[in-house]
């Protein structure tokens, strides 16, 4: 079995930095049969070697989210394809905490998701990942948005496992949008390797990536965020921002913001705030009776809570708060 190369940086940099791509041993791309299904309110995904295709009919706007639960007792792979028809709207919750907890043995998960958001359709995807040490989870997500279509993703990474996230969103249509809201709390010897690529083709397309995370103990994280303005996307705009709280001096962090441009009339911004808490804030809170450890724990929890509160689905919020 050959290695899988993902999270490739569109504009390569010095190899010694170790951020150009992620090479995963023991996994490789694979083809599978297609099986069409209706995207109902509750679906349990077990280990399968075929593509499951879910169609949201044109104009369909269900009032409740659709839930995809992932429950495996050993290593598994899934391919999921979601097609949102014109003028449809849907919220999808993918909960991988069922897959990744409840077992002390090693486990590997590999998910490939393809989402097509047709003209004026709106798709909101909420993904929850919690993993203990010994778990490796790889997620490849490919999204294409049509005219005035919108794709919004909320991701939460928790635990001490190894996570790889490769997300590509192609903004093909006029005034198409991509919004990413991500939080993470990684500890012990856990690893988080993220690659977000927003490619602007459509005029006045918009992308916005926001990440807020906490690293503790010997955790390691890489974030690659790319905004790629292609020729013809006049009036497009993209932003990316990451805020990282380093709980311990032994953590590893790499942040790689990248803007590529083939069009003149566009707007792209990026920024990152990385470090420990300021001395003035620490002094103030310690003077109110809190220990340094308690201050850091409070601030770490606050970052996760801030994202959870922005999730509209009460059932999902309650499940996350029960876990943390």
Residue 322 within a domain: no
CA atoms of 288 and 275, how far apart (whole Å) = 23
Tell me what pLDDT residue 50 has.
56
pLDDT at position 21: 84
Domain of 195 in residue numbering reads as 4-277
Q: In this structure, are strands 4-6 and 22-24 parallel, antiparallel, or unpaired?
A: antiparallel
Contact call for residues 324 and 158 (beta carbons, < 8 A): yes
Residue 44 is assigned to a structural domain of this protein:
yes
User: What pLDDT is recorded for position 30?
Assistant: 42
Position 122 in a domain: yes
Res 51: pLDDT: 67
> What are 154's two structure tokens?
């909320």
Q: How many whole angstroms from its chain centre is CA 201?
A: 22
Task: Tell me whether residue 100 is in a domain.
Answer: yes
What pTM was computed for the model? 0.89
Question: Does some domain include residue 138?
Answer: yes
Predicted confidence at residue 237, as pLDDT, reads 97
Quick one: pLDDT at residue 321?
A: 79
Tell me if 308 is assigned to some domain: no
Q: What pLDDT sits at residue 193?
A: 96
Residue 312 lies in a domain: no
Domain total in the chain = 1
pLDDT in single tens digits along all 324 residues of the chain: 567 787 888 888 878 888 888 887 665 444 443 444 555 555 545 555 456 788 889 999 988 888 887 766 566 677 889 999 999 999 999 887 654 445 556 777 788 899 999 999 999 999 988 888 888 888 999 999 999 999 999 999 998 889 999 999 999 999 999 999 999 999 999 999 999 999 999 999 999 999 999 999 999 999 999 999 999 999 999 999 999 999 889 999 999 999 999 999 999 999 888 887 777 877 778 888 888 778 778 888 888 888 988 888 888 888 777 776
Return the pLDDT at 33.
38
Residue 152 to residue 141: CA distance in whole angstroms = 13
Residue 31 confidence (pLDDT): 42
Closest to 210 in 3D by CA, of 173, 184, 235, 229: 184
- In this prediction, residue 235 carries a pLDDT of 97
Residue 304: inside a domain, yes or no?
A: no
């Amino acid at each position: 079995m050959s290695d899988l190369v993902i999270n490739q940086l569109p504009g390569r940099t010095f190899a010694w930095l170790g951020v150009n791509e992620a090479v995963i041993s023991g996994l490789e791309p694979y083809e599978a049969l297609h099986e069409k299904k209706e995207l109902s309110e509750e679906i349990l995904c077990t280990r399968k070697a075929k593509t499951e295709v879910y169609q949201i009919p044109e104009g369909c706007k269900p009032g409740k989210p659709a839930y995809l639960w992932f429950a495996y007792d050993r290593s598994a792979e899934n391919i999921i394809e979601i097609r949102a028809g014109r003028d449809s709207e849907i919220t999808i919750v993918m909960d991988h905490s069922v897959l990744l907890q409840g077992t002390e043995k090693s486990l590997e998960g590999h998910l490939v998701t393809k989402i097509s958001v047709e003209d004026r359709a709106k798709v909101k995807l909420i993904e929850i990942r919690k993993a203990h040490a010994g778990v490796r989870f790889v997620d490849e997500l490919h999204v294409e948005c049509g005219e005035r279509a919108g794709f919004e993703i909320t991701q939460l990474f928790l635990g001490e496992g190894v996570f790889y996230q490769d997300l590509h969103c192609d903004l093909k249509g006029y005034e198409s949008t991509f919004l990413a809201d991500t939080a993470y709390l990684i500890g012990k010897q856990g690893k988080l390797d993220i690659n977000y690529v927003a490619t602007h083709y459509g005029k006045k397309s918009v992308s916005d990536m926001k990440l807020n995370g906490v690293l503790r103990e010997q955790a390691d994280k890489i974030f690659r965020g790319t905004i790629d303005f292609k020729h013809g996307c006049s009036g497009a705009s993209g932003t990316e921002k990451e805020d990282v709280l380093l709980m311990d001096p032994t953590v590893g962090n790499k942040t790689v913001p990248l803007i590529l441009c083939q069009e003149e009339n566009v707007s792209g911004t990026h920024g990152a705030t990385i470090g420990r808490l300021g001395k003035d804030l620490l002094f103030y809170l310690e003077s109110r009776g809190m220990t340094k450890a308690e201050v850091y724990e409070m601030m770490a929890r606050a970052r996760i809570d801030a994202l959870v509160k922005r999730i509209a689905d009460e059932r999902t919020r309650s499940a996350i708060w029960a876990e943390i």
